[in-house]
Amino acid sequence: MKAIEITKFGGPEVLSIVDRSIPEIKSGEVLIKVAAAGINRPDIFQRQGLYKPPYGASDIPGLEVSGEIVSGDAKLAGLSIGDKVCALISGGGYAQYCVANVEHCLPIPINVSSEDSAGLPEALFTSWSNLVDKGNIKEGESLLIHGGSSGVGVMAIQLANSLGCDVYATAGSPRKVSFVESIGAIKCINYRSEDFVSEINKITEGNGVNIILDMVSGSYFDRNLSILSKGGRLLIIALLGGVFSTINSGYILKKNLLITGSMLRTESILFKHMIARSLRKFVWPLLSSGEIKPITYSYIPFEEVIEAHRLMESGEHIGKIILVM
């Protein structure tokens, strides 16, 4: 099969199309003939040598795919050989065939294309596990999403709206700000020209927000704590701003704050299985009805993976970049 290999750590040019054997499957797994794969920031970090795949995972990048089940234990999840699915995987998505745990496969939603479905798992597993499972988000609560125009951001905005929450976000350009507001954010703050702390305090009359979904961290950490309401939750899902920050412990004690972190790729099989069940029950009907929509910025041919990574690194995209086989 054709696969995309990281020949050495470095820039996008280190990606190369090679011939590999079709991977073997074990009990509880299925083999998927890949139609499309989502491009994600962890793929960039892996290529740069900053994100080592977990033990037993493929060295081929790619954390989410769509395609057809061609063999394996499909019946364990109520699926069949030949079914079209999308799947969260621990690696190996940039290839013509990949292995997935059958419990992490979901049928392609009605009215959603195979290509768009490839961009659903990573964003929705991340959004659901953080907002619902860890953040215990409730109807009527307020939420600030940093990186509102990212793949995770656009899904989290729509998911939170469907749960009856007030959503605010940050983004880095007028174009992105406008788009994020068009999909349901009450206010999107341009972090390059506005101070999100001042804006949130103004909007909420100093009361702050109940939850912050943060992929920046770094210098944002203390600023986030300052605008959380009493009993607020800070959900950290990435460290794009680095790990160094001051921590005002007084905020945590005074406001009774909860701070959590998560790295989806290293979570247990059972944890991901439970998320998949919840998504199929609660979110898949919203995708099929169009209440939640996949947001795809670009479909890029398999052979142009270098350009796909360059686009991801440029930060110009809104939503997902999809690699099409």
DSSP 262-291: --GGGS-HHHHHHHHHHIIIIIHHHHHHTS
Length of the chain: 325
Is the pTM higher than 0.75? The answer reads yes
The confidence score (pLDDT) of residue 242 equals 83
Model confidence at 144: pLDDT above 90: yes
User: What is the mean pLDDT of the segment spanning 60-80?
Assistant: 96
**Average pLDDT of the chain to the nearest whole number:** 96
Any residues with CB less than 8 A from the CB of 50 and at least 6 apart, and which?
A: none
Domain boundaries, the chain: 2-120+266-324, 124-262
The confidence score (pLDDT) of residue 182 equals 98
The shares of helix, strand and coil residues in the chain, as percent rounded to the nearest 5, are 35, 25, 40
The confidence score (pLDDT) of residue 251 equals 87
Model confidence at 239: pLDDT above 90: no
Higher pLDDT, 158 or 217: 158
How far apart (Å, rounded) are the C-alpha atoms in residues 223 and 149?
Answer: 20
- Residue 246's pLDDT band, with cuts at 50, 70 and 90, is confident
Query: Following DSSP, what letter does each residue of 153-204 receive, concatenated?
Result: HHHHHHHHHHTT-EEEEEESSHHHHHHHHHTT-SEEEETTTS-HHHHHHHHT
The confidence score (pLDDT) of residue 142 equals 98
Model confidence at 36: pLDDT above 80: yes
Model confidence at 244: pLDDT above 80: no
User: What is the mean pLDDT of the segment spanning 41-49?
Assistant: 96
How far apart (Å, rounded) are the C-alpha atoms in residues 115 and 248?
Answer: 44
The confidence score (pLDDT) of residue 118 equals 98
Model confidence at 245: pLDDT above 80: no
HSE-up (13 A, CA, CB side) for residue 93: 31
User: What is the mean pLDDT of the segment spanning 181-188?
Assistant: 97
The confidence score (pLDDT) of residue 162 equals 97
Could you report the per-residue pLDDT of 205-232, keeping only the tens digit for each? 999 999 999 999 988 999 999 999 999 9
| Domains 2-120+266-324 and 124-262 belong to one CATH topology | no
124-262, which class in CATH?
alpha beta
State percent of the chain over pLDDT 90.
Answer: 90
The confidence score (pLDDT) of residue 146 equals 98
According to the CATH classification, is domain 2-120+266-324 in 3.90.180.10? yes
